[in-house]
Amino acid sequence: MSSIASLSEDLVDLVDRVKGFMPEAEGIALHAAAQSYFTGGVGVEIGSYCGKSSVYLGDAARLRESTLVTIDHHRGSEEHQAGWEYHDPSLVGADGRFDTVGELRHTLAEAELEDVVVPIIGRSARIATWWNTELDLVFIDGGHTEEAARADYEGWARWVRVGGGLITHDVFLTEDEGGQAPHRIFRAALDSGEFAEAAEAGSLRVLERIKPSPSNG
């Protein structure tokens, strides 16, 4: 297996400046895990926001001559809307709607990742209805409602190849620490018997597929 590289100083500086929700220690773990799963194929990220986690994943894809598809409708999750805890008024567009597309493009350009990272603007569950490509990894960091997290698990985990990675963010063991939907899909993946725990850092959980998906054979 190829050695695991660190993020360059320029990219460390960039991810520090990009708006988002990926603490550095978890980002470093994500970067390392992604390097171990990318083998020249495709990975999917759900929840691009402004591209913070996309830089960690995209750089890993570049190092392994792979492709990252990053999916987001760019209208923000519940907690990003006006009046909610994580609302950022600087991300409201001229039309008065929350919009992170421009920030993502800017981040990918500055990271020189535009040839490696392919953004798709849309609802993850809609895109999953026509997706038909086996994946080296899936990173789930989209909507954190029960419905959204469950749809991402059911729509995307099935495409992870045997030996590939299913990585979930914001997995908290108790309600006091945070919402439980990511924890529930992490448990569902383990309980399916198709995945085994591979690594963790903070609220990031890395699972590896050990059995084929019954949905995909």
Using alpha carbons only, what angle is made at residue 72 by residues 67 and 75, rounded to the nearest 5 degrees?
Answer: 155
Binding residue (CB under 6 A) for ligand SAM from 41, 47, 164, 165: 47
Q: Is 49 in the site for ligand SAM (CB under 6 A)?
A: yes
Q: Cα separation of 40 and 178, whole Å?
A: 35
DSSP 8-class letter at 111: T
Q: Between 101-110 and 52-63, two packed helices, what is the crossing angle to 10 degrees? A: 40
Q: Is 142 in the site for ligand SAM (CB under 6 A)?
A: yes
Closest-CB residue for ligand SAM?
Answer: 20
Using CB under 6 A, count the residues that bind ligand SAM. Answer: 22
Q: Cα separation of 130 and 22, whole Å?
A: 29
Q: Is 73 in the site for ligand SAM (CB under 6 A)?
A: yes
Q: Which two structure tokens, joined as six digits, stand for 39?
A: 């083998």
Q: Which two structure tokens, joined as six digits, stand for 172?
A: 């908290």
Cβ-based nearer residue to ligand SAM, 160 or 181:
181
CB of 65 to ligand SAM, least distance (A): 23
Binding residue (CB under 6 A) for ligand SAM from 64, 74, 183, 209: 74
Cβ-based nearer residue to ligand SAM, 136 or 141:
141
3-state secondary structure of 45: strand
- Give the max Cα distance, the chain: 49
Q: Is 106 a catalytic residue?
A: no
Q: Is 119 in the site for ligand SAM (CB under 6 A)?
A: no
Binding residue (CB under 6 A) for ligand SAM from 12, 92, 101, 123: 123
Of 74, 144, 169, 183, the catalytic one is: 144
Q: Cα separation of 55 and 24, whole Å?
A: 12
Q: Is 58 in the site for ligand SAM (CB under 6 A)?
A: no
Q: Is 155 in the site for ligand SAM (CB under 6 A)?
A: no
Q: Is 68 in the site for ligand SAM (CB under 6 A)?
A: no
Q: Which residues pair with 195 in a beta bridge?
A: 209
Cβ-based nearer residue to ligand SAM, 142 or 164:
142
Q: Is 183 in the site for ligand SAM (CB under 6 A)?
A: no
Q: Which of these, 167, 128, 193, lies nearest to 31 by C-alpha position?
A: 167
Residue with tokens 């991402």: 152
Q: Cα separation of 98 and 72, whole Å?
A: 12
> What does the binding site for ligand SAM look like in residue numbers (CB under 6 A)?
20-22, 47, 49, 52-53, 71-77, 100, 123-125, 141-143, 148
The residues carrying an active-site annotation are: 144
